[in-house]
Amino acid sequence: PSRHFVDVAGFLDKQRPAWKQRIRYGALDMSATYAAVYTVILPKAAQVVDSFHVISLANRALDQIRRRVQNEQTGHRGRRDDPLYRARRVLLVGEERLTDKAAARLASLLALGDPGAEVAIAYRAKERLREFYRCSNPDAARAIIEELIEHCKRPTMPPELQKLGRTLHQWLDKICNYHLAKINNGPTEALNSLMKLIKRIGFGFRNFDNYRIRVLLYA
């Protein structure tokens, strides 16, 4: 019924011991609540921070830097002809998915709108984080992200990147656990989206049992 620690921990605690003992991994977003629940109720389960949320965190830092530099350079929010505004979507695309033309366009827009190279640095950090997930060797992958964290935490880096570095450092072990089993919480995210859709279609449900039955019918 909620994301509160007591409710989530209570749900897991009520399950059969044999059921709990079978759980080897626990996927989660960067939620301190769920991390604490796993630690207390399922201490043997390896916690794995979902890769989608980690990349999204880097994308948000990149976009925050782009917006700030945009305002500093032009004195206003992004407009259609501003270089960084025109680059906003391309910056979030994986580098390996860019055509030669798109890569050249991105470099040109950054040269025009990012004289201090802050956006370019954040873009490289985001791509380096994606390399961590593409790496097949767990030790090499950990070295990549540790190097990235130290790079982001330098005092000379943009404040948004420094914050990203601190967050990655806080969740480092749980992020690196991705390479133990390469699991994610995509299935639960998909079900969560479906349940929200059911709730919208029904214009809300006053009775939780009725809501639960409708969810089970759909899924």
Residue 82 to residue 74: CA distance in whole angstroms? 8
Mean pLDDT of 69-78: 92
Collapsed DSSP state (helix, strand, coil) of residue 132 = helix
Q: What is the pLDDT of residue 205?
A: 84
Query: C-alpha distances in angstroms, 170 versus 4, 79, 163, 165?
Result: 21, 36, 11, 9
Question: Residues 152, 165: contact at Cβ < 8 Å?
Answer: yes
DSSP state of 171: T
Q: What is the pLDDT of residues 56-71, one digit of tens each?
A: 999 999 999 999 999 9
Take residue 164 and report the two structure tokens written for it. Answer: 């990203």
Residue 217 to residue 211: CA distance in whole angstroms? 10
